Amino acid sequence: MLDITPLIDIVFLLLIFFMVMTRFDEEDYKLDVVLPTASEAQPLISQPRELFINIDADGRYFVRGDQHSINEIEEILEQTAADNPESSVIIRADKESKIEFSVQVMNACNKAKLSNYSISTASLESN
C-alpha cells in the first residue's frame, strides 16, 4: 500500500505558501497612493522592446497583424521612440518586395530617432 502522508504534507505546505504570497501581493495594489508629477517623467514601458514591421510582396506594411500606410508607420515609430527610446525595430520584408519599401521604413526609423533597426533574413539550411 502506498503511503501518501508525505505528499499531503507537501501539498499543505504549498497551499500555505501561495496563500501568504498572494496576501502580500494584494497589499501592494490596495495602497491608495497619489504619485507626484514631473515635467520629464516618462511612461512606464509595458510593451516589448522589439517592434516587428512586416512588408509583403506587394509593399503593404503590417504591424501587429494590422495593415498600415507608411505615414501610419512613421506615427507608430514616433510613439515607440517616445515610450522606449532603446526599442529595436525588426523589418521583415518578403523576398519578392522591392528594397524601396524597406528603405522607407529605415528612413522612418531615422526620423523617429530609432537607430536600432535591422532587416530579418531566413537562415540557409545545410543539406
Annotate 93-125 with DSSP letters as a single string.
Answer: E-TTS-HHHHHHHHHHHHHTT---EEE--PPPP
Q: What domains lie within the chain, and their CATH numbers? A: 50-119 (3.30.420.270)
The bridge status of strand 88-93 relative to strand 66-68 is unpaired
Length of the chain: 127
Mean pLDDT along residues 91-102: 88
**Angle at which helices 70-83 and 99-111 pack, to 10 degrees?**
40
At 67 the three-state DSSP class reads strand
Alpha helices (H) along 31-89: 70-83
* Number of Cβ atoms within 10 Å of the Cβ of 40: 4
Q: What is the pLDDT of residue 126?
A: 45
Instruction: Check residue 44 and give its pLDDT.
Output: 52
Specify the pLDDT at position 39: 63
Chain segment 38-95, per-residue pLDDT in tens: 666 555 555 557 888 999 888 899 988 889 999 999 999 999 888 888 889 988 888 8
pLDDT given for residue 74 in this prediction: 95
pLDDT in tens, 2-50: 788 888 999 999 998 887 776 654 444 444 545 556 666 555 555 557 8
